[in-house]
Amino acid sequence: MVDRLPDNEIRDITKMLEAGKPLDDKYRYLLFKESRQVELLWNGKTTKTSNIVLPFQSIEHIDEPRSEEKIEFQRSLFDTSGQRVRGWSNKLIWGDNKFVLSSLQSGPLREEIEANGGIKLIYIDPPFDVGDDFTRNIEIQDNSFEKAPTVLEEVAYRDSWGKGADSFLAMIYDRLKLMHSLLADDGSFFLHCDYRLNSRLRIVLDEIFGEDNFRSEISWKKLTSAKSQSKYFSNIKDSIFFYTKTDDSIFNKLFIKGISDDKNYPYTEEESGRKYGTFDFTQMGAGEPRKFGDKTLTPPPGKHWIWSQERINEGMENGKIVFTKNGTPRVKRYLDEKAGNPIGDMWDDEEVTPLSSNAKERKEVNYPTQKPEALIKRIILSTTNENDLIADFFVGSGTTAAIAEKLNRKWLASDVGRFGINTTRKRMIQVQRDKKENEEDFRSFEIYSIGSYSIIDEKKEDKFRELVLQAYKAEKLNNSVFIGKKGSTYISIGPQDLPCSRDFVDDMVQECINQGAVNLDVLSFEFGMGVVPEAQEDALTKGVKLSLKYIPREVFDKRAVESNAVRFSEVGFLDVDIKTLKKNREATVTLKDYSIFYSQDTLQKTGEALGKGKSTVVLDNGKILKIYKDKAGIIKQEEIATNWTDWIDYWSIDFNYEDRPELIITEGEDGKLQQVETGRFVFDNNWQSFKTRESELELTSATYQYPNSGTYKIAVKVIDIFGNDTTRVFEATV
């Protein structure tokens, strides 16, 4: 405490406290000692970080990319193609990174991370314009419509910073502190941002990492040319802040290669046969004379020598400096030299150019916030070594994970959006396939989701449940495990802010069994990966008819509720044809049907928003409809024909589903970590097919050969164009 304050200030403080008002900022510095001389303050700032630890549920394991015509259980001993690297399995986690980070920091996975050397690099590119990150243009045949963000995507991010810069800073501050805690002592941190918040983020990062650990503010030229602006200079760059945890961080000096085209190396040494070119080594700035042997030379006006006197002396001795006919010194650079100029903090060279619409990367991935691979490659090469662990908690299109795998690094990535997870899944499978084809080793990866949540705000949830029950035309039940009832069917509602987990569904089914109920509807904005429809089939074997339905965003629209325009969509449906050859213990799966029942907005609402003579394309109950309003203001619609395969983006098969029990690591009664079986199984991705711009979806799998005769469970997973997954389990005897 400081010396006693004057009586008038004590009275002012007392009045503010009695009135429940916050103290003026000046009193904070008068009353308490502050170690920081400069600090950024915002509404809602707190030094507390999330300490919630939730289990990670393993949803899918992708061990080896399968594109061959026949998958044999026992591979040849003479197979010399790329093989899976044993040990660490890379991790792709679906969920809000606030819970992902806190669960990694204090949960059992931390031990595995530390055993693998800790996280050596964290790169993040958080979304600054949320609509751009979660709104998608969905293309079906020759038509396209804009897919709105899911409610959970909006809750997880848009609501976090929808109130302005202070809400964004509150969101990112908590996460940055957790990332700092997870980073290894010799690790590096990179944050990619733009002009909107870079000045404030720099101060926040100084506070968390320490000013002494600031290394660079990199300016990356994100546009090839400036746009025409009438009142200001066009923004063509992003900022990338580079910090380290300590002074012991890894740093590998990189160089921008010199011109390597033979035509630009017009000279050849007679004695060695090496080709070389000569280059100017002056640049803009105030220059001083330097000695070149027995000559003292002054740089051209307005320029300076980029080499020190010591380096010039060295260059003269080893023949790296030559002179033109008019006596101008030049640097001699050989064609076979890898090193050029050291890379500085202005990245506008040809190696890291922005992605054009025609770039191969853009065509293959086509993700809105996608960054060029060369940009991430430079960051990874400069601050990590082979087998180091790299993390990205806003992974988006998966560029960080893809480059980490290509450069033989381990990786861990997460995202809250299903699109990001599915895009990264496909991209990593393709990287695996490419490495295998090139006879390079690769790592397997697992897809996780956050497990049971126990952090629900009951008051907030009660209001939400009442809205949903009203829209669902169900009665509310008090003092019951179930939220409501509709006829003879009990109703349960998943959390508003989070995906409905398999644990939640299983608990509700068990409660039905306990009470002798046979009908259960579970409503949720989003279901966790692997929940549907496997949970339905499992419930049916226990005598409970379980229906899983998506809650539409129209539950928040009072007019839609009152006009009975709110429709709850059933989860997707898939069917397959399985052919077996018992003689050879073989099975082949053909996908033969898939249905979705998804709707976005009500037709009435969409039509009313249209201007006269205008039209739009919408999705209603799994149908593409063209809605238009004629000049008289009459709303009309017509259905656009689609094929069931149009809705599928990706599908995969686990030919022996029940051979990998799901294990979670938990703390036992003795305080020690232990592995526990959940009673469920992990989806082993044995074969997969997905759409790309160069290839169509294969509807028949490779032939799978089993080790022994018997009856096996075959799980089939479909990811639709909206990112939702549908999994169904079948039986086959071989």
Q: 10-residue block means of pLDDT along the chain (734 residues)? A: 70 82 67 64 78 85 69 44 74 92 90 94 83 66 72 66 74 93 96 90 94 95 80 88 94 72 69 83 78 90 83 89 89 71 86 79 77 93 95 94 95 91 92 87 90 62 87 91 93 85 89 94 86 78 92 79 81 92 93 86 69 77 80 81 88 91 73 75 90 85 93 93 86 94
Which residues are bridge partners to 615 per DSSP? 628
- DSSP collapsed to 3 states, 206-233: HHHHCHHHEEEEEEEECCCCCCCCCCCC
**Residue among 125, 695, 703, 712 nearest 429 (CA):** 695
Cβ contact 312:304 at 8 Å:
no
pTM value is: 0.79
How high is the pLDDT of residue 73?
A: 47
Q: How many CB atoms lie within 10 A of CB 625?
A: 17
Measured in Å, how far apart are the chain's first and last C-alpha atoms?
79
100/53 Cα distance (integer angstroms): 8
What's at 478, amino acid-wise?
A: N
Pairing of strands 346-347, 214-221: parallel
Helix (H) or strand (E) holding 404: helix 399-406
How high is the pLDDT of residue 632?
A: 80
- DSSP collapsed to 3 states, 588-621: EEEEEEEECCCCCCCHHHHHHHCCCCCEEEEEEC
For 321, half-sphere exposure in the C-beta direction (CA atoms, 13 angstrom radius) is 20
How high is the pLDDT of residue 29?
A: 59
Cβ contact 387:409 at 8 Å:
yes
How high is the pLDDT of residue 51?
A: 83
Q: What share of the chain is helix, strand, coil (3-state, %, to 5)?
A: 30, 30, 40
State how far the alpha carbon of 238 is from the alpha carbons of 170, 191, 196, 350, in Å. Answer: 22, 10, 10, 16
C-alpha Rg value of the chain to the nearest Å: 30
How high is the pLDDT of residue 670?
A: 75
Handedness of CA 224, 230, 233, 238 (dihedral sign): negative
349/346 Cα distance (integer angstroms): 8
State how far the alpha carbon of 487 is from the alpha carbons of 332, 519, 539, 569, in Å. Answer: 87, 10, 20, 19
531/519 Cα distance (integer angstroms): 18
Cβ contact 488:455 at 8 Å:
no
Cβ contact 273:252 at 8 Å:
no
341/282 Cα distance (integer angstroms): 12
Which residues are bridge partners to 58 per DSSP? 448
Phi then psi for residue 693, to 5 deg, are -70, -15
**Residue among 548, 511, 674 nearest 55 (CA):** 674
How high is the pLDDT of residue 701?
A: 94
Q: Which two tokens stand for residue 672?
A: 């020690």
How high is the pLDDT of residue 639?
A: 81
DSSP 617-678: EEEETTEEEEEEE-TT--EEEEEEP--GGGGEEEEEEETTGGGSEEEEEEE-TTS-EEEEEE
Hey, which bits of 68-117 come out as E strands? 70-71, 90-94
Ramachandran assignment for 663, one of left (phi > 0), alpha (psi -120 to 50 degrees), beta (any other): beta
Which residue intervals of 19-106 are DSSP H helices? 25-31, 97-106
Cβ contact 267:275 at 8 Å:
yes
Q: DSSP label at 198?
A: H
Query: Angle 395-397-400 (CA atoms, 0-180°, nearest 5)?
Result: 55
Report all structural domains of the chain as residue ranges with CATH numbers, in order of start. Answer: 56-237+385-450 (3.40.50.150), 255-342 (no CATH), 458-494+500-551 (no CATH), 573-733 (no CATH)
Q: How many CB atoms lie within 10 A of CB 241?
A: 21
Say which residue the tokens 């591979």 belong to. 75
How high is the pLDDT of residue 557?
A: 75
Q: What is the largest CA-CA distance in the chain?
A: 102
240/419 Cα distance (integer angstroms): 25
Query: Angle 40-42-45 (CA atoms, 0-180°, nearest 5)?
Result: 95
146/131 Cα distance (integer angstroms): 11
